[in-house]
Amino acid sequence: MSIFRFRGGVHPNDKKQQTEHQAIEKLAMPKMLYIPVLQHIGSPLESLVNVGDKVLKGEKIAESSAFLVSPIHAPTSGTIKKIENHYFTLMGEMNTIFLEPDGEDKWCELFPIADWKKATKDELLKQIKNCGVVGLGGASFPTQIKLDPPLDVKIDTLLLNGAECEPYLTSDNRVMLEKTSQMIEGIQILKKILNVENVIIGIEDNKKEAIAKLKEAVLETGIDIKVLKTLYPQGGEKQLIKATLNREVPSGKLPMSVGVVVQNTTTAVAIYEAVVNGTPIIDKVVTVAGNAVKAPKNIQALIGTPISELLDAGNTNREEIDKLIVGGPMMGMAQHTELVPVVKGTSGVLGLTLSETNHCKSRACIGCGKCIEVCPMGLTPIMYPRIAENESWEEMKTYNLMDCIECGCCSYICPSNRPLTESIKLGKTKLREMMCK
């Protein structure tokens, strides 16, 4: 086990028992797919299709010539019925392509790389981009950009994130167990692109089955398995780097500043599929859990599937749902409708009951300092609600607000139930608005 650890953090009940032994199930084809044209950090895409067009499975349907982008592909064959705003998990509504499946599920022609070991870095990066690969740990950053650091930056370590530290979520764990060989080959492709020898998979010790399987799979590969003590938010890039390598990423800097590139283990599988099979990202493994879900499971759903279909598959009692969350309970987003679709970054759909949510009334801060103790970024969350109440947004800069990873540890630990994370998100929004003026 790794002897290092990051500062702060909390250890909530991980609730993974609901689904950790549930093998991935493929969801039936929905009647309509709702495919947002923005599923990555960066610029929105432009639709390549029009209403009435027939498309094939895997066909590119949205793209942009901008730098920070990742294209989107048709999850199945069918007809484009509409292109208009529709409910979106992160920002109310988003321009969305409505695809009606034809039931044939007919593929377009795919163009895999015949022998990736002989391919150049540029060829591999182009393939990864064309197949719409983004970081599948939640951030959805375009992968081809992350794998192409500036020439003056020396990368010595590839770090694979297998922590999956959010409570309830086990989709990454199941992918590591069920697609182990694809993941290992995907890591080898990453290793070639980055030209590094030091490769580490960081995984928390609550995934004993996956740890055992990975240790066997990496024999004679040179890949190192670092078993980490379970602690949230271990899956954060900076926290994982500290826990595995004992390196501190400076404030305002990226992991590459300390010679590290971090990729999620499921992203490695997506890279394998893109390079070896020519397959773009058209589906996602999603954990469906929470006490309102009577048959919790891990589901492989097509991109664009409304989450109502996943809740139905989990035999969910809607009357028991107190809060519907896409993602995990710590960093996920509460939803007001089941019509929001699965996107590339969707990791979980949670139907939480009243017993699982916190409805305690917020009280005055008692100055206990617990929020400071658990903050993994070494910030002072106690100050943010006070500054927000006075609307002194510029002052938040002096407390390094933009370094916050919005993990929710401060809100989780606060005995007064103060809206700490809410104040942080509001402060970030206000500062961004000020910078855009």
Is residue 100 situated within a structural domain? no
What is the β-pairing status of strands 72-73 and 260-264? unpaired
Query: So what's the pLDDT on residue 1?
Result: 65
Is 70 exceeded by the pLDDT of residue 437? no
Burial class (CB in 10 A: 0-12, 13-18, 19+), 40: buried
Q: Which helix (H) or strand (E) holds 431?
A: helix 420-436
Same domain for 161 and 271, yes or no, is yes
pLDDT the model gives residue 212: 97
Query: What confidence category does residue 110 fall into, taking pLDDT thresholds of 50, 70 and 90?
Result: very high
| Per-residue pLDDT at 394 exceeds 90 | no
Distances (CA, A) of 54 to 38, 100, 119, 257: 21, 10, 33, 46
Q: Is residue 194 part of a domain?
A: yes
Residue 129 in any domain: the answer is: yes
Q: Is the pLDDT of residue 59 over 90?
A: yes
pLDDT at 432: 80
Q: Which long-range contacts (CB under 8 A, 24 or more apart) does 116-122 make?
A: 116/189, 116/192, 116/275, 116/276, 117/192, 119/275, 121/148, 121/192, 121/193, 121/195
119 and 254 share one domain: yes
- How far is residue 282's CA from residue 45's CA, in Å, rounded to a whole number? 16
Domain end call among 244, 259, 277: 277
Are residue 125 and residue 272 in the same domain, yes or no?
Answer: yes
Task: Choose the weakest-confidence range: 79-83, 183-187, 231-235, 419-423.
Answer: 419-423
Residue 414 lies in a domain: yes
- Which residues on neighbouring strands pair with residue 62, listed in sequence order? 47, 72
Domain assignment present for 93: no
Burial class from Cβ neighbours inside 10 Å (0-12, 13-18, 19+) for residue 26 reads: exposed
Q: What is the pLDDT of residue 3?
A: 66
* Last residue of one domain, picked from the residues 253, 277, 301: 277
Contacts of 101 (CB under 8 A, 6+ apart): 29, 30, 31, 32, 33, 76, 77, 78
pLDDT at residue 359 above 80?
Answer: no
3-class DSSP state of 129? helix
- CATH number of the structural domain spanning residue 123: 3.40.50.11540
Counted residue by residue, the chain has a size of: 437
Residues 382 and 248 in one domain: no
* Across 81-93, average pLDDT: 90
Are the C-beta atoms of 97 and 83 separated by less than 8 Å? yes
Q: How far apart are CA 100 and CA 427, in angstroms?
A: 40
What is d(CA 177, CA 51) in angstroms, rounded to the nearest whole number? 40
Cis peptide leading into residue 419 (ω within 30°): no
Are 339 and 311 contacting, i.e. CB atoms less than 8 angstroms apart?
A: no
pLDDT band at 92 (very low <50, low <70, confident <90, very high): confident
Instruction: Give 2's pLDDT tier (boundaries 50, 70, 90).
Output: low
Q: How many domains does the chain have?
A: 2
SS3 413: helix
What is the pLDDT at residue 250?
Answer: 92
Are residues 271 and 132 part of one domain?
A: yes
Looking at 184-229, which runs of residues are DSSP E strands?
Answer: 198-204, 223-228
- In 3D space, the residue among 143, 163, 173, 180 whose CA is nearest the CA of residue 269 turns out to be 180
Q: Is the pLDDT of residue 61 over 80?
A: yes
Q: How far apart are CA 197 and CA 296, in angstroms?
A: 40
Q: What percentage of residues in the chain have a pLDDT greater than 70?
A: 99
Q: Which residue has the higher pLDDT, 139 or 110?
A: 110
Tell me the two tokens of residue 136. 């599948």
Residue range 306-331: mean pLDDT, rounded: 97
Q: How high does pLDDT run on average in the chain?
A: 94
Predicted confidence at residue 83, as pLDDT, reads 97
What whole-number distance in Å separates Cα of residue 143 and Cα of residue 146?
5
Q: Is residue 264 part of a domain?
A: yes
Examine residue 228 and state whether it is found in any structural domain, yes or no. yes
| Residue 425 domain boundaries | 370-436
Higher pLDDT, 433 or 155: 155
CB neighbours (10 Å) of residue 146? 20
Query: Residue 282: CA atoms inside 13 Å, Cβ hemisphere, count?
Result: 23
Q: How confident is the model at residue 428 (pLDDT cuts 50, 70, 90)?
A: confident
Q: Residue 299 domain-assigned?
A: no
Q: Which of 277, 296, 319 is the C-terminal boundary of a domain?
A: 277
DSSP 8-state secondary structure symbol assigned to residue 213: H
